Amino acid sequence: MRLEPISAPTPARRIVPPVLALVATLVVTSVLVMIAGRAPGDVLRQIVIGAVGSKFALLETLNRTTPLIFTGLAVAVAFRAKLWNIGAEAQLYAGAVITVILGTGAMSAPSFVMLPVLAVAAFIAGALILLGPVILKTRLGVDEVVTTLLFNFIFLLFVSFLLEGPLKDPMGMGWPKSARMLPEGRLPRIFDGVRLHWGFGVALIAALVIWVMDAKSTLGFEMRAVGQNRDAARFAGIPVTSVMIKTAVISGGLAALAGFSEVSGLKGSLTLDLSPGFGYTGIVVAMLALLHPLGVVVAAFFVAAIFVGADSMSRAIGVPSYIADIMLASALLFMVLAILLTKFRVRRD
Amino acid sequence: MDILDILFSAAFWAATVRIASPLIFATLGELLCERAGVLNLGIEGIMVAGAFAGWIAVWAGLPLWGGVAVAFLVGAMLGGVHSVLSVPFGLSQHVVGIGMTLLATSLTFYMYRVILPEVSSPPKITAFQPLDIPVLSDIPFFGAALFSQTALTYLAFLLAAVMAYVLYRTPLGLAVRAAGERPEAVATQGLSVTAIRMGAVIVGSGLMAIGGAFLTLSAFDSFFFEMVNGRGWICIALVVFGAWRPGKAVLGALLFAAFDAFQIRLQQTPMGAFLPYQFFLMMPYILSILALIVMSRRADVPAALMVPFNKGER
Amino acid sequence: MATTVQAPPALCLANITKRFGSVLANDDVSFDLNQGEVLALLGENGAGKTTLMNILFGQYTADTGSVSVFGETLPPGKPGAALRAGVGMVHQHFTLAANLSVWENIALGTQGIGSFVLRSGQVRAKIRDLSARFHLDVDPDARVSTLSVGEQQRVEILKALYRDARVLILDEPTAVLTPQEAQDLFATLRQAVEMGLSIIFISHKLHEVMALADRIAVLRHGRLVATRTRAETNPDELVSLMVGTAVDRHDYTPRTVGAPRLSLRNVSTPSTGTRFGLNNVSLTLHAGQIVGLAGVSGNGQAALSDVISGLITPSGGDIGIAGQGITEWSPRIALSHGIGRIPEDRHKTGTIADFDLTENAVLETYRDQFSRRGWIDWRGARAHAETLRETYDVRTSGVDSRIRLLSGGNMQKLILGRVLEQSPQIILANQPVRGLDIGAVTYVHRRLVEAAENGAAVLLISEDLDEVRKLSDVVHVISDGRLSPPIPRDDATPAVLGHWMAGNGFEGEVPHAS
């Protein structure tokens, strides 16, 4: 077989493959649900109800959306420039660690000073974490996929050390857990009485900023050029290495904001299970969003809904909640194939 | 116990060989894929799936070698999915690989929960037992260190020899190497690049799965969620470290395993009490990154690695 | 046409038609290759030669028509069928794995894939035998990456002979050779014909075709427009058959040479991999002058081009612009000094395929001309792209369409416009018309000459001697990374240039043409 580029795709060409990808994802899910001996219809309905069926469920979903917007943006920004940052998990924890260090007593300041300081510190921490692999890549050509992946393991062990050592809460009954954040270091709720913190608002603003940067700024233009064709970008005088480093700073920083927002907005302290793989899920979010910053918001909500819905479904019906991860992984693979098929025709000769 | 005591104990060297075994399987599998031009980042997930599939098959009543075969088949099937997406469709090998790892891992955890819904700790099986090789295992020190391993370990080393032979001494191996260096050379000589690459990814993924199964069928006797724990990523570093050659990759795996066995023992020394255990556990990952840095200037990488081949592209 | 009917033709293509979307790549093409004959297949880029060969080798399936070899019809769409039937092809771009040895490249695919042993001794012996018989000297154990271009071509020919090919197809075989190497190749091919092979020789170089071919088939726009024996035709007729109309013979009017604009003094760059670096190169480009750079591909042209574009900083020597020495060097600095660059590869370095026309139009100028405080002025950028589109006749549906969808000619016109709109003092044109159709070639050449007439200093790098000789005021030859002294236009005959291109050194007087 051979792939032939389509010069002017028809509307059907653009729409049908992605729709088929969603259908295929549902088929795979249904088969697995049937293997577990349950009815796919019930399971899917329960996932929807569990995700958006009540005010409580919706808020739960929105709270889960927040970190995914940050990590999704982090991955989207990096992937656009063909910087394969698979280390958002480590960067997230780096942001969380700094937030906890500064927010549990290392500094004291009123909320309107403390919160920006925490966010900026977290951003810088995440950026620094990604700089190592990026410099190894630009200087020595070491593949950043493997180094960022391996760094996730290293940094998580480091966090584990911190939580059992220097950052351990003396009042924590021996659990590996940090002290609680000072009230000035906590992100307030957006509406009184509604369990949704400002982390969500910051995430939406971040998506807007990245979108505007992407479309209108010289840096955004340079990042896209470097991602699409490094040789042409270099030839045209775009400083490729410096653009890669700026990309890394933004990407790592965004992932770290997820850690800041989770600690300061939601949890109030740091534990080793702060992130159930938000860094990795960010990859799925970014890919489903076709790396578009505003698409990330939608995709993050969709992904969060599936996770929250699957948890609730699992409690109600008993199908393991890992079905959510399977749905997302298969949606990711079907979707990248579908996007290819919107641009290329498969010929048999 | 001091450092010399560790290095002169047969148990340390036996552990080194044991720890290296799963890495050898998976590294050879990855090496085969990369030699044909495909980076397989599904390795981590495929190892998880292989560990589970081999173990659950034996738990369900198959003999141990049946478990190994099941693991290989499951790995090969996952490799089949990877290869369809990455070879004829030429999708980004980074994205496909990460997607495959997420898919294989979540499928494994799901099936575990479906098959064993209510267990708090996983059931145990009777794993491969050490097989003393007659005569050789009686050699003082070396016998205990090298020739009292499980059959699966011996297979790992045998496989490395077979892989080296196939790659360098058979027409098929020549075709695989050429597909990773210059797919056009393969196509113009009337061979199918697609078939060669897909075949390499399928077989390579099967080997990765056996690497995973080694953990549940030989190293331990049960399955835990976190048991693969980044070994797949380490194997990718080992392929680079081994300069894409089976012999050197085995040496790399042994060196790496020696460090790992050493740090485990070092934790029990006074130094171990001084340094938190997390820093010992970091060693394998740090070592892998160092290996990548040391080898970064080498030009042994297959020239067409990660370059999709689209027949008759204009 | 063959008059005797005793043997079936070595190769017979009958009524081949192949359509790609709306493009008719081959339109009812039929011809025979007789046994023991050299047939030249002549045609411009895009005339359908490559598609035809891909059909012959089963890479594409023809919509209609059939291929037969020695009377046996080949199954369509089966790669390898032609190979097995005894047809061997030497591609223009070699298909050798550089990290494998010569014998491994030749043995690839010749032994059963399921076999447990690679019979390397046998392979080496047969290669030595063939080398001796066809005068194709090459060491079977050498790594391909260590071979010269000429040697690599010998390996390609050996690949075909090793499979006992009885029909040999060569696609533009002399494009990468010095004139002298080309003579050696022709000797080998004549030897092969004497040993009973039949040969198809694809080219667009008329003197080679006239020197080697028994018969000539001409393709134009996918159709076979004529078949002639060598005796009954002449180069002028062939040109008009290829092009369809009489070619525009470019008239040369001497230009006034101005002040030096760019000078390289003793510039050297390191060699990397298979690529020559520069060895002590000195070159001055003057306002109002076109300097041609002739040379066999891969002799340092890329390094020289990269130095002038700003991509690499010389390891030794100086760059001077308008008399000023340069200390810092990068593409951006080169641009800021008024160097306009037309890169060798318009797909890989000249444009970004998935960017639209506007984005590509401002790729070099977005920062200085179309942005304020880090924000891009898209309105201005679009207007600029519109201007380029109109002024340089870029045919496209609009400035929002992706560059990927443009033809090579339109892509090149956009790059040309991007460069010329900046009124550059210095223009680097590296292979500016490679792969373009006659119309676009004429257009690009006219614009470059105009730019020189308006005072720009132009460096034209080309592997096509005719192009160099047609446009240049002065010609340099590059060989092994070294630059020859300048040769005035009138002395730059093929014999002179060929002698220097062959790497014989540049010492002594300019050799005079006989």
Residue C1 has pLDDT above 50, yes or no: no
* Residue B282 phi, psi (nearest 5): -70, -25
DSSP C147: S
Structure tokens at A308: 């929250």
Structure tokens at C376: 């891009």
Residue C208 has pLDDT above 80, yes or no: yes
* Residue C244 phi, psi (nearest 5): 95, -35
Chains in contact with C, counting 3 or more C-beta pairs less than 8 Å apart as contact: A, B
Residue C105 has pLDDT above 90, yes or no: yes
pLDDT for res B158:
97
pLDDT for res C6:
65
Contacts A–B by Cβ distance under 8 A: 123
Q: How confident is the model at residue B101 (pLDDT cuts 50, 70, 90)?
A: very high
Q: What is the pTM of this model?
A: 0.90
Query: C407 vs A320, which has greater pLDDT?
Result: A320
Residues linked to residue A2 through DSSP beta bridges, in sequence order: A347
Residue C247 has pLDDT above 50, yes or no: no
Distance CA A87, CA A81 (A): 15
Residue C419 has pLDDT above 80, yes or no: yes
In this prediction, residues B210-220 reach a mean pLDDT of 96
pLDDT for res C66:
92
pLDDT for res C513:
38
Q: Mean pLDDT, chain C, as a whole number?
A: 88
Distance CA C120, CA A4 (A): 39
Kindly report the nearest CA distance between residue A169 and chain C, in angstroms.
46
- Report the amino acid identity of residue A222: E
Given phi > 0 = left and psi -120 to 50 = alpha, else beta, which region is C36? left
pLDDT for res C490:
87
Residue B214 has pLDDT above 80, yes or no: yes
Mean pLDDT is highest, among A165-174, C43-52, C60-69, for C60-69
Residue B1 has pLDDT above 70, yes or no: no
Residue C328 has pLDDT above 70, yes or no: yes
Asked whether C486 and C476 are in contact (CB, 8 A), the reply is yes
Asked whether C32 and C227 are in contact (CB, 8 A), the reply is no
Structure tokens at B15: 């552990």
A16-61: pLDDT as tens digits? 999 999 999 999 999 999 999 999 999 999 999 999 999 999 999 9
Asked whether C290 and C342 are in contact (CB, 8 A), the reply is no
Q: Does domain B10-116+148-294 have CATH number 1.10.3470?
A: yes
Q: How confident is the model at residue A273 (pLDDT cuts 50, 70, 90)?
A: very high
Asked whether A259 and A42 are in contact (CB, 8 A), the reply is no
Distance CA C70, CA C48 (A): 24
Pick the CATH number of C249-338+424-514 from 1.20.120.1200, 3.40.50.300, 3.40.50.1000, 3.40.50.2300: 3.40.50.300
In chain B, residues with a C-beta closer than 8 Å to the C-beta of C274 are none
Q: What is the largest CA-CA distance in chain C?
A: 80
Q: Of C308, C266, C299, C254, whose CA–CA distance to C460 is shortest?
A: C308
CATH fold label, C11-243: Rossmann fold (3.40.50)
pLDDT for res B174:
97
Q: Is C308 helix (H, G, I), strand (E, B) or coil?
A: helix
Which helix H or strand E contains C132, and what residues bound it?
A: helix C120-134
Distance CA C443, CA C420 (A): 13
pLDDT for res C114:
83
Nearest to C335 among A229, A237, A348 (CB): A237
Per-residue HEC secondary structure of C427-493 comes to EEEECCCCCCCHHHHHHHHHHHHHHHHCCCEEEEECCCHHHHHHHCCEEEEEECCEECCCEEHHHCC
Residue C183 has pLDDT above 90, yes or no: no
Q: How confident is the model at residue B107 (pLDDT cuts 50, 70, 90)?
A: very high
Those of residues 363-392 in C touching chain A at CB distance below 8 A are 363-364, 366-367, 371, 374-376, 378
Asked whether C147 and C88 are in contact (CB, 8 A), the reply is no
Inter-CA distances, A232 with A21, A222, A279, C352, C461, Å:
33, 11, 31, 6, 19
Residues linked to residue C211 through DSSP beta bridges, in sequence order: none
Those of residues 102-141 in A touching chain B at CB distance below 8 A are 136, 140-141
Asked whether C134 and C192 are in contact (CB, 8 A), the reply is yes
Nearest to A86 among B98, B296, B312 (CB): B98
Q: Of B60, B106, B72, B311, whose CA–CA distance to B197 is shortest?
A: B311
Distance CA A90, CA A285 (A): 17
In this prediction, residues C488-513 reach a mean pLDDT of 72
Kindly report the nearest CA distance between residue A340 and chain B, in angstroms.
8
Rg, chain C, Cα only: 25
Angle between helices B151-169 and B193-214 (to 10 degrees): 160
Kindly report the nearest CA distance between residue C114 and chain B, in angstroms.
7
Which residue of C87, C100, C106, C113 is the best one to mutate when testing the B interface, meaning the one whose CB has the most B CBs within 10 A? Answer: C113
Nearest to A235 among C60, C311, C371 (CB): C311
CB contact under 8 A, A232 and C341: no
pLDDT for res B299:
67
pLDDT for res B7:
76
Q: Is C26 helix (H, G, I), strand (E, B) or coil?
A: strand
A222-259: pLDDT as tens digits? 999 999 999 999 999 999 999 999 999 999 999 999 99
Asked whether A222 and A232 are in contact (CB, 8 A), the reply is no
Kindly report the nearest CA distance between residue A219 and chain C, in angstroms.
7
In chain C, residues with a C-beta closer than 8 Å to the C-beta of B302 are 99
Residues linked to residue C227 through DSSP beta bridges, in sequence order: C217
Q: Mean pLDDT, chain A, as a whole number?
A: 93
pLDDT for res C174:
83
Nearest to A221 among C341, C376, C405 (CB): C376
Residue C250 has pLDDT above 60, yes or no: no
Residue C332 has pLDDT above 70, yes or no: yes
Domain boundaries, chain C: 11-243, 249-338+424-514, 354-422
Domain boundaries, chain A: 69-289
pLDDT for res C465:
79
CB contact under 8 A, C80 and B184: no
Residues linked to residue C372 through DSSP beta bridges, in sequence order: C375
Domains C11-243 and C249-338+424-514 share a fold: yes
Q: How confident is the model at residue C139 (pLDDT cuts 50, 70, 90)?
A: very high
pLDDT for res C245:
54
Q: Which of A317-326, B156-165, C98-107, C172-181 comes out lowest in average pLDDT? A: C172-181
Q: How confident is the model at residue C507 (pLDDT cuts 50, 70, 90)?
A: low
pLDDT for res C244:
65
DSSP code string of C214-255: SEEEEEETTEEEEEEEGGG--HHHHHHHHHSS----------
Report the chain B residue with the minimal C-alpha distance to residue C105.
B185
In chain B, residues with a C-beta closer than 8 Å to the C-beta of C117 are 169-170
Mean pLDDT is highest, among B131-135, B310-314, C379-383, for C379-383
For A298-315, give one letter per residue: b (16+ CB within 10 A) or e.
bbbbbbbbbbbbbbbbbe
For A261-277, give one letter per residue: b (16+ CB within 10 A) or e.
bbbbbbbbbbbbebbeb
pLDDT for res B314:
35
In chain A, residues with a C-beta closer than 8 Å to the C-beta of C366 are 218, 221
Q: Of B270, B251, B263, whose CA–CA distance to B7 is shortest?
A: B263
DSSP C98: T
Those of residues 73-132 in C touching chain B at CB distance below 8 A are 79-80, 83-84, 89, 91, 95-100, 104-105, 107-118
pLDDT for res B313:
45
Q: Which of A56-65, A264-273, C486-495 comes out lowest in average pLDDT? A: C486-495
Mean pLDDT is highest, among A289-298, C77-86, C204-213, C296-305, for A289-298
Inter-CA distances, B300 with B239, C401, C445, Å:
11, 41, 43
pLDDT for res C510:
53
Query: C426 vs B10, which has greater pLDDT?
Result: C426
Q: Of B239, B249, B254, whose CA–CA distance to B301 is shortest?
A: B239
Asked whether C48 and C221 are in contact (CB, 8 A), the reply is yes
In this prediction, residues C139-144 reach a mean pLDDT of 94
Which alpha helices (H) appear in C319-437, and where do they start and end? 331-336, 357-361, 366-369, 378-391, 408-420
- Report the amino acid identity of residue C11: L
Per-residue HEC secondary structure of chain A comes to CEEEECCCCCHHHHHHHHHHHHHHHHHHHHHHHHHCCCCHHHHHHHHHHHHHCCHHHHHHHHHHHHHHHHHHHHHHHHHHCCCCCCCHHHHHHHHHHHHHHHHHHHCCCCHHHHHHHHHHHHHHHHHHHHHHHHHHHHHHCCCHHHHHHHHHHHHHHHHHHHHHCCCECCCCCCCCEECCCCHHHCCCECCCCCCCEHHHHHHHHHHHHHHHHHHHEHHHHHHHHHHHCHHHHHHCCCCHHHHHHHHHHHHHHHHHHHHHHHHHHHHCCCECCCCCCHHHHHHHHHHHCCCCHHHHHHHHHHHHHHHHHHHHHHHHHCCCCCHHHHHHHHHHHHHHHHHHHHHEEEECC
In chain C, residues with a C-beta closer than 8 Å to the C-beta of B178 are 97, 100, 104-105, 108
Mean pLDDT is highest, among B46-50, B278-282, C224-228, C486-490, for B46-50
A181-232: pLDDT as tens digits? 999 999 998 888 788 999 999 999 999 999 999 999 999 999 999 999 999 9
Q: Mean pLDDT, chain B, as a whole number?
A: 91
